[in-house]
Amino acid sequence: MKCPYCGFVEDKVIDSRPTDEASAIRRRRECSKCLRRFTTYEKVESLPLMVVKKDKTRETFDRDKLLNGLLRACEKRPVSINDLEYLVESVESQLHNSLQREVTSQAIGEMVMERLKGMDEVSYVRFASVYRQFKDINTFMDELHKLLKDK
């Protein structure tokens, strides 16, 4: 760390402790040349997860947007908000653990549908109808037949 007073690059850490929010580490340092003390903060650098949409535009991943879509699909269904929040956390965790900085909206939709299918089949079909943009009743029926076949 470069001393802010004399510019010397060697120092020693006198004290380290987490900040109040535990979002960073506060370090008290002493310059090896001028012996003056200064404080630095160290925190994890997080890169945003980018979603590549169908039209090739990019936007940052928004868990609230995903949760709102799920709430609409599960409206008037016996699916608790806690289950939906857990589903969103699970998808978000899987995305961050993949270490990819960009993910397609299709991949996110498939992850959600895979989890939603086991929770509530009606909500699954509702979500799939929007996500897969069913064009007509035949597309809708094809999805229902797949669901019944899997049972």
At residue 93, the pLDDT reads 87
Name the band, by pLDDT with cuts 50, 70 and 90, for residue 124: confident
Query: Is residue 148's pLDDT more than 80?
Result: no
Structure-model confidence comparison of residues 46 and 6, the more confident one: 6
Bridge partner list, 50: 60, 102
The whole model's pTM is what? 0.64
Q: What is the mean pLDDT of the chain?
A: 89
Name the band, by pLDDT with cuts 50, 70 and 90, for residue 138: confident
Q: Any idea where the domains of the chain sit in the sequence?
A: 11-42, 50-150
At residue 130, the pLDDT reads 79
37 neighbors 28 (Cβ within 8 angstroms)? yes
Q: Is 147 exposed, middle or buried (0-12, 13-18, 19+ CB in 10 A)?
A: middle
Reported as a single tens digit per residue, the pLDDT across 66-91 is: 999 999 999 999 999 999 999 999 99
Distance separating alpha carbons of residues 11 and 35, to the nearest angstrom: 9
Query: Is residue 147's pLDDT more than 80?
Result: no
Query: Is residue 134's pLDDT more than 80?
Result: no
Mean pLDDT of 37-49: 87
| Lowest mean pLDDT segment, chosen from 17-21, 38-42, 92-96 | 17-21
Q: What is the CA radius of gyration of the chain?
A: 24
Please work out, in degrees rounded to the nearest 5, the angle formed at the alpha carbon of residue 132 by the alpha carbons of 126 and 138.
80
Reported as a single tens digit per residue, the pLDDT across 92-113 is: 889 988 888 999 999 999 999 9
DSSP letters for 80-92: -HHHHHHHHHHHH
49-55, Cβ contacts within 8 angstroms, sequence gap of 24 or more: 49/95, 49/96, 49/101, 49/102, 49/103, 50/101, 50/102, 50/103, 51/102, 51/103, 51/104, 51/105, 51/108, 52/102, 52/103, 52/104, 52/105, 53/104, 53/105, 54/105, 54/106
At residue 97, the pLDDT reads 86
Q: How far is CA 83 from the centre of its chain?
A: 17
